[in-house]
A and B are shown apart, each in its own frame.
Chain A
Amino acid sequence: MAIKGAIVIDTERCKGCSVCVGACPNQVIALSKNVNGKGYNYAEATKDDCIGCASCAMVCPDGVITVYKAKL
């Protein structure tokens, strides 16, 4: 049985501060090359290794990360 996680980032509200990037134990998150409506390079998941630990959501000042976790 494996634990799998997934994150959903509200990219329009993300300010691209990068604090979540270093908080992830599996280096899942990076800032996008694209920008949102406010001109920020928003955060996005870049690989399949999320374990749903919510560390990223815990440090996000703008509370824009929603986290899911399931045992598969």
Chain B
Amino acid sequence: MFNPDIIKPENLVYKRTNVLTDAVMHYCPGCGHGTIHRIIAEVIEEMGIQDKAICIAPVGCSVLAYNYFNVDSLGAAHGRAPAIASAIQRLHPNHHTFTYQGDGDLAAIGTGETIHACNRGENIVIIFVNNGIYGMTGGQMAPTTLLGMKTATTPYGRCVELNGYPLQITELLADLPGTYYVTRQSVQTPAAVRKAKKAIRQAFENQKNHKGTSFVEILSNCNSGWKKTPVEANKWMEENMMAKYVPGDIKVDGVKVR
């Protein structure tokens, strides 16, 4: 232990938020899901909305998200989180209903629910974790899998002839009039985490002001699915994922910015 003399409550600058439960997360070592959970929880704590936050958990790796967020939660059928969130937020218009969904959940089986909730401009926050693969089921191709990327179901790499193009659902959603805020973030470095947290805060603030749908995509590594170490996976994400899924704001205050 170094500098034990400064380890005192008055010198505390960072500790795990109580909006996360004490449960040990089941995610693989280095997986971005844990970081994304934590910054959402920190935003909820900082805004003082723990008793008003309602998490709609998906199917996929983050199916157990309700074990980790110390807020009211509900598990949706696969892909249906935005539909459930729409109903709950309409019934509790001053609460903060948010969905937490991966690419398989949101951009494959849940594409319809996602598009229609965004098109209706439901006053919900959608957190979309994009790691370009189906993690939980063993690393199969997802709609967001990059061209050339090897997965369990594209062993020679994704090719257009067989598998079509990677789906940039976030850009698509920005074109809908119901979305008020659409952004793409990531969590592989301290600076990126801070930015992603700011974006999540913005989304919840928009919801507080009844602005419509706020959609935050967060690029994350699936190091097991990508068959890399966590550090290599983050680097691979910066070099490959970010070339296709360019980080930054796409729509701010209801106006497209790119």
Residues in chain A within 8 A of chain B (CB atoms): 4-6, 8, 13, 15-19, 21-23, 28, 40, 45, 47-48, 50, 52-70, 72
CB–CB B13/A68 < 8 A: yes
Given contacts A52-B13, A67-B14, A68-B11, contact A61 B32 (CB under 8 A): yes
Q: Most A CB atoms within 10 A — which of B13, B20, B35?
A: B13
Residue in A closest to B10 when the chains form the complex, CB atoms: A70
Residue in B closest to A65 when the chains form the complex, CB atoms: B14
28 A-B contact pairs sorted by A residue (CB < 8 Å): A4-B3, A4-B6, A6-B1, A6-B2, A6-B4, A6-B6, A13-B24, A18-B229, A18-B230, A18-B231, A19-B230, A21-B231, A45-B2, A47-B2, A50-B2, A55-B190, A57-B14, A58-B193, A61-B29, A62-B24, A63-B16, A63-B17, A66-B14, A66-B15, A66-B16, A67-B13, A67-B14, A68-B6
Q: How far is the CA of A68 from the CA of B35 in the complex (A)?
A: 20
Top 3 closest A-B pairs, CB basis?
A61-B34, A17-B30, A15-B29
Q: How far is the CA of A38 from the CA of B31 in the complex (A)?
A: 17
Given contacts A6-B7, A68-B6, contact A61 B13 (CB under 8 A): no
A-B contact number at CB 8 A: 106
Task: State how many angstroms separate the Cβ of B69 from the closest Cβ of chain A.
Answer: 13
CB–CB A59/B188 < 8 A: yes
Residues 26-57 of chain B: 1 if any A CB is under 8 Å from the residue's CB, otherwise 0?
A: 01111111110010000000000000000000
Residue in A closest to B31 when the chains form the complex, CB atoms: A61
Q: Give the chain B neighbours of A69 by CB distance below 8 A.
A: 6, 11, 13
Of B3, B7, B231, which is within 8 A of A19 by CB?
B231
Does B194 reach chain A (CB closer than 8 Å)? yes
Q: Give the chain A neighbours of B7 by CB distance below 8 A.
A: 6, 8, 68
Residue in B closest to A55 when the chains form the complex, CB atoms: B190
Q: Give the chain B neighbours of A64 by CB distance below 8 A.
A: 16
CB–CB B2/A48 < 8 A: yes
Does B234 reach chain A (CB closer than 8 Å)? yes
CB–CB B35/A66 < 8 A: no
CB–CB A19/B234 < 8 A: yes
Q: How far is the CA of A6 from the CA of B3 in the complex (A)?
A: 6
CB–CB A59/B35 < 8 A: yes
Does B216 reach chain A (CB closer than 8 Å)? no
Q: How far is the CA of A61 from the CA of B35 in the complex (A)?
A: 4
